[in-house]
Amino acid sequence: MTSAPNERQLQGLTTAEAKQRLNDEGLNELPSTSKRGWIHILLEIVKEPMFLLLLACGTLYLILGDHEEAMMLLGFVFVVIGITYYQEAKTEHALDALRDLSSPRALVKRDGEWIRIAGRDVVRGDILMLSEGDRVPADAVILSCTNLYVDESLLTGESVPVRKAEWDGVMEMARPGGDDLPFVYSATLVVSGQGIAEVRATGLRTELGKIGKALQNVETEKPPLQREINALIRDMGLAGAAMSVIVTIVFALTNGNNLLAWQRGVLSGLAMAMGLLPEEFPVVLTIFMAMGAWRMSQNQVLTRRMSAIETLGSATVLCVDKTGTLTMNRMTVRKLAAAGEYFDIPATGLPGSLPESFHELVEYSVLACEADPFDPMERAILEMGQSALKGTEHLHDDWELEREYPLSRQLLALSQAWQMHSGDGRVAAKGAPEAILDLCHLPEAERELIMKQVLDMSGDGLRVLGVARAIYNGTVLPENQHDFDFEFIGLIGLADPIRPTVPSAIAQCRRAGVRVVMITGDYPGTAQSIAREIGLQHPDLVVTGPELEAMTEDEISSRIRDISVFARMVPEQKLLLVQALKANGEIVAMTGDGVNDAPALKNAHIGIAMGERGTDVARESAALVLLKDDFNSIVAAVRMGRRIFDNIRKAMAYILAVHVPIAGLCLIPVLLRWPLILQPVHIVFLELIIDPTCSIVFEGEPEEADIMDRPPRDPAKPTFSRRVVLVSLLQGLGILIAVLVVFGVALYGRGLSENDARGLAFATLIFANVALILTNRSWTRSIAHTLRTPNKSVWWVIVGAISLLAITLYVPVAARLFKMAAQHPIDMVIAAAVGISTIFWFELFKKLQPEALT
């Protein structure tokens, strides 16, 4: 039996009351075990190889008596700590924001309205609505329920779901375990039924909080790209170690082979190690993934698995639900069918009175709805009923609800049994037309006639429901809907308008090489009508769920290659479709919102859960969660995923390119027995430019204009193809040759001092680095074009680099520490011209082969 809670209990809290309780009692969450404090971050920084190398160099300078160099290097230690701390804190802040967003959602009553809020914002006294698939956000007492079963294995270890009962108003909150308790507990899972509950405990005061278990919803596993990065770091690390040893030995043997030579040789070797150490790679990957996830959350897409960001750029098929994703999920009743007659209702609403012949159809469709529904179809039926039957005897606010027979997987219909004042009973049923016809046990000829009406209505793009009624006079209600003697009344057609932005988004997907597949439980006619309206490919080709299940694997593989519309699908059939698409070599993104969608969401390459209407089970199984159930959010996620991957590749290519001249300038002078061009202090200076460039400039770079006009990226191909690596090496080699030529000509051609030549060469290297940053902002557009694309970080880095260069050249103390001399303005112009000219070939390459690197 179900009895409704009284009106006082259902009022819920006001917004002001909830805010006050949130301030008094705190957020409904347990202490996070994954958040890193500033001390933890600093301890991680001091373990970094670059930090240890700086300390080693500073210590060696002290031993050699070069106190100024030692103090400057040790001073740079704090600068490096500051930059790294900023990067790490920024990443941690982004992850904190994601943890907040990943809190399970709760449907609560505030100010008399049902609204969805984050589970962490639930407070004591809130009224909750619980449905199948919900994660219970707090400990609560059950005010009313229908067939409510909850999985409490997290707390009790008992794998069998327990049945719940309604609270008698007296019993105190008890520990979980056993059937028929009127309590639900935080983090447990509703496996079936519905209920309304009042929150009694939140946060650490819940049973979950008492036993000290913590849940962690945001996953931070390393993406597959990490394996490729690790291999690159390993290779560069081994090369750096080998070359450091070579530089140390060669320097010592060619400079006297004494203690001082070996000490200086070790310094040169350490400089080489610093030059080749790719410490930026893991930083870039961490920051780009975390900030990318944060940026996606700003576009109403929550990233629960970081690997999804990488995979988004490879997606070839988007499988989306029709209702609420492609459509507005704002149902309106548009057509009625009863006794062989039709009645059309304009989108603006009922223009006048409803013909008498349709009153009974509307009356029983209203009786088959919840009193305060959340379902948009029931809301539409109630609104139409209240308008059409106002002032008639067909509205029954005084009838008492005796029992609800909920929708089930076996029977897609629900019934509500009502008791009249006379003592007689009436049963109203609505649901899928096939299910209603099954309840009515009609003869085959009549069934065929009604199904023809259903197909006609669905062909107009309407979602069709059947309505039936039954009479009962007994005192005990049967357990099964089939035990009633139902009489078929008629059909109701509801329309759900498409979202205005969907057709353009579909066209954008087509240009991007991404096929959109629509999945719906509606009839083929409804699905085809919507498919034509939004511009899907091959809208007239439809496969139904039963047809899909009846096919062999080979038939499925062949049929689905050109099919974009799947109708009469149930959640279990989504898994079959995902597996078939994957077997065809597609990279599949799948949307879902129900408990039964979880297997398909987990099996898809990218599971996308609906955040507004989705269950917590679906959200926990998905890699992405749409905070706004809109198809545009999915397309925006694909666009953002492509942008993030593009920018990661640009940043990595820049890192690889810029380390080539640094390493070469450490090695070649030693081999040629030239004076050293770069020493540890110069490399640290360069790192002050490289680090923010990687983590800030490229991360914030806007997307390429053609990003959604390219085919999806092949996941089998490496991130750094041979061509990309070759281009990066050539960029770095060009800079290396230019700087060596400038240094050699200045020192041996013009007879300048060592400090003069080093200053000129270093200035050339800085200008070349600036040019390298600018040219790598885009691999398809020229520098002139990208300069018109806003990215404030670029100018901060460039101005900072040139300002620091000016200080090291023209401030006497700094010039002495850097072993450089002030440069004549003409020499600075030469350095700038040579440095900038190193990227001319790449600018020409982009113009001639704009698609070579995309």
Token pair, residue 751, equals 């007879």
Looking at residue 562, its amino acid is: D
Q: Supply 744's token pair.
A: 């050699």
Q: Which of 340, 361, 333 is nearest to 450 (CA)?
A: 340
- Token digits of residue 394: 């067909």
- H/E run at residue 496: none
Of 629, 316, 326, 322, give the one whose Cα is nearest residue 502: 326
Q: Dihedral sign for Cα 788, 791, 796, 801, please.
A: negative
In the chain, the largest separation of any two C-alpha atoms, in whole Å, equals 116
CA-wise closest residue to 582 among 560, 610, 599: 560
Rounded-to-integer distance, Cα 85 and Cα 105, Å: 33
Q: Is 519 helix (H, G, I), strand (E, B) or coil?
A: strand
Beta carbons of 107 and 612 less than 8 angstroms apart: no
**Each residue of 503-514: b (16+ CB within 10 Å) or e?**
eebbebbeebeb
Q: Which helix (H) or strand (E) holds 423?
A: none
Among candidate residues 576, 436, 434, 464, the one with its CA nearest the CA of residue 519: 576
Question: Cβ neighbours of residue 295 under 8 Å, at least 6 residues apart?
Answer: 640, 644
What is the Cα–Cα distance from 424 to 668, expressed in whole angstroms?
Answer: 100
Q: Angle at the Cα of 613 (from 610 to 614), degrees rounded to 5? A: 50
* Strand, helix or coil for residue 554: helix
Helix (H) or strand (E) holding 188: none
**DSSP-assigned states of every residue in 255-310:** TTSSHHHHHHHHHHHHHHHHHH--THHHHHHHHHHHHHHHHHHHTTEEES-THHHH
Q: % helix / strand / coil in the chain, to the nearest 5?
A: 50, 15, 35
How far is residue 102's CA from residue 598's CA, in Å, rounded to a whole number?
17
How many Å from the N-terminal Cα to the C-terminal Cα in the chain?
63
Asked whether 277 and 691 are in contact (CB, 8 A), the reply is: no
Question: Which secondary-structure segment (H or E) carries 116?
Answer: strand 113-118
CA 5 to chain CA mean position, Å:
39
The catalytic residue among 134, 321, 593, 646 is 321
Place of tokens 């023809």: 452
| Residue 210 CB neighbours (<10 A) | 13
State CA 326 to chain mean position distance.
19
Phi/psi for 142 (5° steps) reads -90, 120
Asked if residue 262 lies in contact with residue 252, where contact means CB atoms within 8 angstroms, the answer is yes
H or E element in which residue 488 lies = strand 487-495
Q: How far apart are CA 689 and CA 766, in angstroms?
A: 9
What Rg value do the Cα atoms of the chain yield, rounded?
34
H or E stretch including 208?
A: helix 207-210
Place of tokens 């002139």: 784
Tell me if residue 375 is catalytic. no
Alpha carbon 761 to its chain centroid, in Å, reads: 46
Instruction: Tell me the residue ranges of DSSP E strands in 8-57.
Output: none
Helix (H) or strand (E) holding 109: strand 105-110
DSSP helix/strand/coil, 320: strand
Q: Which residues are catalytic?
A: 321
